[in-house]
Structure 1
Amino acid sequence: MVNWLLKVINKYGKVMVTVVVTLIVASISVTIAVIDMLVFGHNLFPALYLSAFIPILIAPPTLYFPMSLVVKLDRTEKELETVIEGAGDALFLNDRSGKILKVNEAACQSLGYTREELMAMNVSDIQVRHSSKVLTSHWDDVALGKAATLAGEHRRKDGSTFPVEARVSALEYGDDISFLAVIRDVSERQRIHASLLESEERFRKSFENAAIGMTVTELDGKFRSVNSAWCKMIGYSEQEILSKTVAEVTFPDDIIRTTEDRQNLADGSANISLVEKRYVHKDGHIVWGFMSRAVVRGAEGEPLYFIGQIQDISERKDVELKLLDSEEKYRKLVETSHDLIWSVDNSGIFTFVNEASKLTHGYEPEEMIGQPFTNFMTAEQAEKDMAVFAKIKEGISYFDLESVHLKKDGSPVYLSFNAVVERDDQGNILGTTGSAKDITNRVLTEEQSRLHQEQLAHVSRVATMGEMATGIAHELNQPLAAIAAYIDGSLRRLNSDGQTSKPIIEALEKASDQAIRAGDVIKRLRDFVRREDSKLEDIDINDTVHTALQLLKSDFDLNRVALKFDLAQDRPIIYGDPILIQQVILNLARNSVDAMNSLESGLGKLKVNTVTEDHSVLIGISDNGPGIDLQLQEKLFEPYVSTKKSGLGLGLPICRSIINEFGGEIWFEPAPANGAVFQIRLPLHR
């Protein structure tokens, strides 16, 4: 009836329907009045008035407003139907028995049924967890006016299930109370929730089991949560650390920076804080940590708390500090070294020189950097050094050489170089770094020593020649004198006999002249080799001994002879030629070294002592060699007497001649145990 009325109203309008119905009612009333007049004889006019006029007055408002309500109700139902159908969640309307009365399209799609199929089913047909009895108990509660939210599981037409959340409320539908359930598929929410739980569990385990320190701190710096690695790093128990703030375990000098970093994170100035800082261990020592900290924000972007990761870098910092200290020491060493520290690239151009360049070359470092090293030497020396430098390309990794460079003023400087070639992983040359030591003094000293040794050798040769000349003169003068005497006697005899043989006399006279001439030649030779340009001066005997024996250092090292000095403290001074005195000491010391060759290596000992006695100084040179045969001891200072198979036997005679020339004496003494002792006495110079 209502639906028919709605159709008429929708077709003709409420006004037209009202007029028609009013006319119909009025017509019926008039008909009744006429019948009443005809049948019962009543007065027609009052009846007609009442039956026609009154319906016309009363019917329109009486009909119009109910029709408006019917139309409005219909519109409301349609709007509700539209809302239900357009809802994203599934909507079910069922009665108390669970029979499904109405569903929307979302419900059909979620379960895979058609609307007709669902409306022929019971709620229990699609419910997995709850039985009809359980559902009925819930509906009884809902019928009392209590809306309920239920969790359950629905089964689709294909048999698959999915979790749902139902919001159930009671409403009147028809003559009985029905139940409207808004069903939401919570599969995604549960998946997200499970994922969140898993993530939280994973974070919890990662947090607790992390090898590095992990912390959660409040915005004010108070610890909210810490892991065991952090407790171990800082030395506190978990309960102890949770009662503290970050500032309380931070090294005082780092507190301000830590607070500023935390503030920058909170106000959004920074997204993450990465900082190296110092913490104070419970026992008081410093712990270096690398802190990575981020802020966790709420739904509105407000900061909630901080999460920090702290890696213990104390060992690394200790290494870094030691490295910095080492680098500082190296830098100071390089800067203060008197040796030239240098680097060149693979073209030989200086890339670095230290301040020693002022000493070695007379240039400021910046004057040498950028210049080829060949610019600081002669062309001839550059050619030699470039030959060595070229070998770098052949694969050598280290080299040393001695070279002569030119200073800024043009003077030469002798340098001893050693260098290491730097290469990359592929073996390509990056450059060469090394040092250069100024050996100018050593080279000049060696040159002076060489000249000195040459001078000593010359003196030795001259002395030997002089001694030989003296010996030859001594040996030949007697026979020459005898020859001259015999010739002179023969001439006198020939003249006295009166028997002259002029040719014989002339021959004898010539022979006599030649003998005399030979004697003069020998005398002149002896005088010539003895004529020396001696430089007489005050001599410190101790210095002279040191200087002489320094020349034999290589002999001592080669033969592993131990040298010992026992020199007078008052530094005795004599007057003489230092070269000749050194020659004597050298000769005696060399004889000792040669004599000790028969000993086992390393057992040879040579002792040199000086002592002042009265107006003279006594020089003793002793060894622990095999000594000298008793038969030779008496003849040691005679010419051509030698203890060596290859010796000339002139060394000791020369020594004696030199010592005698300066008013001294030399002699031999057998050593108390074994070996030989030579003593020299020379007058002190007043």
Structure 2
Amino acid sequence: MVLAREPLKPSPSRLQRLFGRWWRQQSPARQDRFATIGPLVSVLMFLAAITAAFWYLRSEEIDRATDALRRDTEVAQQQIRLHLIENQEQLVRIARELVTKDIDTAEFLSQAGAFQRERPEVRHFTWVNAQRKVRASQAVLSFHPEEGSGAAMADPSLPAEGRRNEAEYAFIAARDTRQPVYSRPFTDASGLWVFQVQIPLIDRSNFVGTLIVEYSVEALVRFFVPTEVTRRHLVSVLGPDSRVLVSTVSSMPGQPATAPSLQYDLPLAPMSNGLTLRGQGYRTSIGLIGNTLFWMVVALSVLTVWMLLGTWRHMRRRAQIQNALVQETNFRRAMENSMLTGMRAMDKDGRVTYVNPAFCAMTGFAEADLIGRYPPFPYWPPDRIEENTRLLQQELQGRSPVGGIEVKVMRKDGSLFDARMYVSPLIDPKGQQTGWMTSITNITEAKRIRDQLSASHERFTTVLEGLDAAVSVLSVQHSELLFANRSYRLWFGADARGHAILANSSNGAPYLPEPDEEVDGLSGLPTQPLTETGAQPREVFVESLQMWFDVRARYLQWTDGRLAQMLIATDITARRRVEEQAQQQAEKAQVTSRLITMGEMASSVAHELNQPLAAINNYCNGMVSRVRAGSIGTDDLIAVLQKTGRQAERAGQIIHRIRSFVKRSEPQRQPAHARDIVEDAVELAGIELRRRKVNIHTYVAQRLPMLNVDPILIEQVLLNLLKNAAEAIDTAKMPNSRRHIELRVVPRHTPEEGGVIEFSVTDMGPGMKEEVLARLYEAFFSTKAEGMGIGLSLCRSIVESHRGRIRAQNIYNGGSVTGCRFAFTLPVDLSQRAEAHPVPDTVPDVAAASNPNASAS
């Protein structure tokens, strides 16, 4: 028979043997503790794993729903935003045509009707003049135009002076900012929530009214929120007070609406008028609170943990007393060892009974070298034994000063350091004094810093007193003069009035608090941002001294913590006088240059004026002949008179531009568009270009930032560069293929200049020699036989006075010169808003328009 063999038992692994050996080495109490903690940790880990799994699955589903809601809300916002931007561009074009009188009231109403038919969200389309009078209006319910010239009725959709409504606020904002303005939402006469966009009408820098377009908030949501978005989520529009104005879902009457569990808000750009687009959704997952399986697992885990904790608490009580005693001992020992102040205890006879580790580290002596010692102690310097003995007797008698005593202490290596010693009686638990406790602190570094600060303060005061500039420090809260150097006292005396004058206050008087003022109004002022702000230089004229000062001010925190203002005023009277004389000479040179330019263009101007005058003569002679013959009707007569008027207006515009260009005036920097400057310069230069049969092509980039310049001076620079380019081409007898000039205006950004706008004039002439380029901007240097040599030098001065740069370079094709390029830059702030109204990429080609055979390069 076959005997069944017993299965072999697997041999224990090395890890199991090590664990068994470690377990047998533990005490029974520790084994019991580990046996109790092990199941408790396992149950807690199981509960944590179950909770984490439920929470992870629920969070994943919530994240997916939140991402879908965010995407749908952003899609709806982009649809509405793009549509509003497109409408604004169309409205700016209509406003520009109204200002330039390219359309009359009838054409405006026609365009308004077409605009509303294509845009169902538009409820009103109104033209209002600067006095808030309605010139023309178009309503959405009926496309019959409504014209009016009298006072507007009490309509919340129309601005009215003195009335507090959103239309009036938007009208004032559009008038002040000269930019399209979106109003805050309001209810119109029909009770619907609407908002307006008001486009200002600017005629030659004069505000002449606004173009008001009223949008229905409900129509915007209904027509421009995609259907697939509204099927998935609830989309609503909230007002500035977070009240729901319009929603894609309406609740049933009498039933409370279920609050959505997810929502995502976005501003209804580009309006920035308080409207918020909110997308809302609902979670479909069951939370941890409503999950039955989760609570069953939690209940079983809590029951197991409770049983294990009961066992563990019983075992822990046995070791509490022993642990408390160990902790108290260790705490006291750690506190003594971690102190940085040296502690020394003595009995009433002066014998050292205790020193802490900090005292030993401070003196370098070991504890055995100090315990039980009587005076003199080993850390007393040999030359101060008598003094230290006297101080010890004073200490044992209880007459040590409360503020401590400054003494010299010697280390074991013989070096000395300064220390401050404080003495207090040592009281035992029964209330009896058994000795004295002394604490010693090393003050060597603090004393050295104090001495350095005193010397530094003396040097600082000496330097400030020797300055030729006035330096003063004024307390902001109390208007108290905290410091003034010799120059300040010499010019303004010893009071704070001079500081107030230099700080450019309204009446030169310092701020004085009211007698009954009990609360510091500047106590909550954030001093850190003020003190971190750099000095802003200003030039101030002091009438009483007849002197100019360069003033630099900054805020600082005074030695006592108060907020103070420091001013440094340098006398710049001599420099200002020199600058004023140079400015006067530059202004005379600018006017002289413009007169010379007009003198050179005199024949071209006469030829340009001859064309409209000859046309007027021909029209008048023709009308006289036909009137005498009785062969002209009223309509033909009106048409001829209109043509005659246009020719006269053309001649008048030519004369007006020439007068504006050559008229002497003070340089005035003002906000200006680069496109307007280019148009005026090209129109003036077109006379000379047509005479020399030179074509010009201009390109101006869209949405350029606003420039802060003197338009006449920049126009003078452009005209000079264009005239020089035309003269170079005509003098060199260039063929028709190379009789071209290109004027480009584009934005640039360089590390040296930052954000700038670059004006460049490129011709296809013979170019210039390198030695000419090197001396191009020298005064009275000219390559022309009859030139005065002040044109380009003056151009450079004008550009550099606007903090710009000008440069010239030849254009090469291989080794041959194919033209020359002049370019200058003007700095701008790129953070400004771009031009609100879109415009074409090019300015009309003046020279090519008057020459049928010309073509743009």
Report TM bin, short chain: 0.3 to 0.5
Q: When the two structures are superposed, what TM-score results if normalisation uses the length of structure 2? A: 0.32
Specify the structure having the higher radius of gyration (Cα): 1
Return the structure number with greater relative CO, CA threshold 8 A, min gap 6. Answer: 2
The structure with more helix, counted as a fraction of residues: 1
Q: When the two structures are superposed, what TM-score results if normalisation uses the length of structure 1? A: 0.39
